[in-house]
Amino acid sequence: MTKIAYVDKDNCTSCNQCADNLPKYFQMDDNDTSETHIGGENVNQAQIPEEDWKTVQKEMDECPGECIHWRK
């Protein structure tokens, strides 16, 4: 089972925290806002495997812009 993570770019503060802490799933775009990815693909629709849910959730919880979410 997987969950899909995405960034609400309108609320991203461009702090780079998620991309620095977890580059496996987060990168900064050309406008210096965060987006999720899987190996550069599935941009802002990253399917996170269950073994990394807690790690991604930690980034969500610590995000200053509170802009990282799970798709429902």
What's the pLDDT at 72?
Answer: 86
68 token code pair: 């990282």
1 confidence band (pLDDT: 50, 70, 90): confident
Letter string b/e over residues 8-32, b meaning 16 or more CB atoms within 10 A of that residue's CB: eeeebeeeebbbeebeebbbbbeee
Q: Is the C-alpha dihedral spanning 28, 33, 39, 41 positive or negative?
A: negative
Domain boundaries 1-66, corresponding CATH code: 3.30.70.20
Give the distance, in angstroms, between the CA of residue 48 and the centroid of all CA atoms in the same chain. 10
8-37 tens-digit pLDDT: 999 999 999 999 999 999 999 999 999 999
Write the pLDDT tens digit of every residue in 31-59.
Answer: 999 999 999 999 999 999 999 999 999 99
| 17: three-class secondary structure by DSSP | helix
What is this structure's pTM?
A: 0.94
